[in-house]
Structure 1
Amino acid sequence: MNKKIIVASKNPVKINASLEGMQKILPNEQFEVIGVDVPSGVSDQPMTSKETWQGALNRAMNAKSEIPEAEYWVGMEGGIDKDEDGKMYAFAWMCVIDQNDAIGKGQTGVFYLPSKVQQLVEEGIELGYANDQVFNENGSKRKGGAVGSLTFGALGRTEYYVQALVLAMIPLVNPNLYPKE
């Protein structure tokens, strides 16, 4: 019987990353993945790690409320923050909730944004749209994302998210090592 994963997005990148991540950490399982649009409860462009995590958690919880019959609910939220020198970097948080309401949390690596992209984001433009403008792309956040543009496709957004999803699953696949608080 397939395990059902509810992904809190209809973005194909997030759906594919969820499936690939689950297949990596649970290779003997079969999955059915369903995407659902739910609110994040945070800004369209989260500007801190804390706000970004809250968006991922909210999305997973809202997905569970929307479709309660599943084994896993996944929320992903991309965000940006600044270092002590004021340079902007991007990352994403992953939240996975299981049937027992255990929560797994994983984060992607970070990468710095070019000053042109940073300037547009500071003017209030969401990272995906800023990326499209700077790199003359269209719909990049549903494809390779800023990470794909900046690495010339060497690392796409799906692959970038897969690792963080696997990391978020660690406490859920090792419940004896991570007792529920």
Structure 2
Amino acid sequence: MPLKVIIASKNPVKIEATKAGFERMFSKQSFLFEGVSVLSGVSDQPMTHQETLKGAKNRSDKAKLKFPDANYWVGIEGGVHEDDFGMQAFAWIVVQTSEKLSHAQTAVFYLPEPIAQMVREGIELGEADDRYFGRSSSKQKDGAVGILTNGEIDRKSYYEHAMVMALIPFFNKN
């Protein structure tokens, strides 16, 4: 019998990354995946690790409240954080069941200063990428990581690795 996974996003990249991570970790299990819209309860552009993690957790929690009959609830939130080297970009993933909660973070990379400056001025990262690179809807496609790596790491694979890490506690029953 398939297990139901609710992804707290309608973004196709987040849905596909979730599917890929679950299918890699649980190759013998069948799943039904559904993306749903829920609010993060944080800024449109989270500006710290803490705010970003809170957004992912809020999304997972709200999906759980909205769809209590599912087996897993997933929240993914992208954010930025300033440190001594510049502006980092990353995402947090929260996965929960009725018994357990886990989270993992993607790798961190640094944004080019012109994009970081737009984000500091209040422009959400996806919009800043679109403006700077003359694109549209990049966060629904390859995202900043895909653009900056010239497609070597697309947004789906970037999230997928963190999804696998977030699933470790569910895979290892210890």
How would you bin the TM-score normalised by the shorter chain?
Answer: over 0.9
TM-score by length of 1: 0.94
- Secondary structure of 1:16's counterpart equals helix
- Secondary structure of 1:28's counterpart equals coil
Corresponding residue for residue 33 of structure 1: 33
- The alignment yields a C-alpha RMSD, in angstroms, of 0.8
2:137 is the alignment partner of 1:156: no
Q: Which runs of 5+ in 1 are unaligned?
A: 177-181
Corresponding residue for residue 52 of structure 1: 52
Q: Distance in 2 between matches of 1:150 and 1:84?
A: 21
Query: Aligned residues, how many?
Result: 174
2:94 is the alignment partner of 1:91: no
Code of the residue aligned with 1:17 in structure 2: it is: A
Code of the residue aligned with 1:151 in structure 2: it is: T
Q: 1:48: how far off?
A: 0.3
- Secondary structure of 1:92's counterpart equals strand
Q: Distance in 2 between matches of 1:29 and 1:70?
A: 15
Code of the residue aligned with 2:96 in structure 1: it is: I
Q: Distance in 2 between matches of 1:84 and 1:111?
A: 13
- Secondary structure of 2:40's counterpart equals coil
Q: Distance in 1 between matches of 2:31 and 2:157?
A: 18
Corresponding residue for residue 80 of structure 1: 80
Q: 1:160: how far off?
A: 0.2
* 1:70–1:99 contact (8 Å) kept in structure 2: no
Code of the residue aligned with 1:25 in structure 2: it is: M
2:123 is the alignment partner of 1:139: no
Q: 1:82: how far off?
A: 1.1
Corresponding residue for residue 166 of structure 2: 168
Q: Which runs of 5+ in 2 are unaligned?
A: none
Q: 1:34: how far off?
A: 0.4
Alignment of 1:93-108 (within 5 A): 93-100=92-99, 102-108=100-106
Q: Distance in 1 between matches of 2:47 and 2:71?
A: 31
Q: Distance in 2 between matches of 1:158 and 1:12?
A: 9
What's the % identity of the aligned pairs? 51
Q: 1:3: how far off?
A: 1.0
Code of the residue aligned with 1:136 in structure 2: it is: G
* 1:45–1:127 contact (8 Å) kept in structure 2: yes
Q: 1:5: how far off?
A: 0.5
Q: 1:26: how far off?
A: 0.7
Q: 1:75: how far off?
A: 0.1
Q: 1:167: how far off?
A: 0.5
Could you tell which deviates more after superposition, 33-42 or 166-175?
166-175
Q: Distance in 2 between matches of 1:47 and 1:161?
A: 19
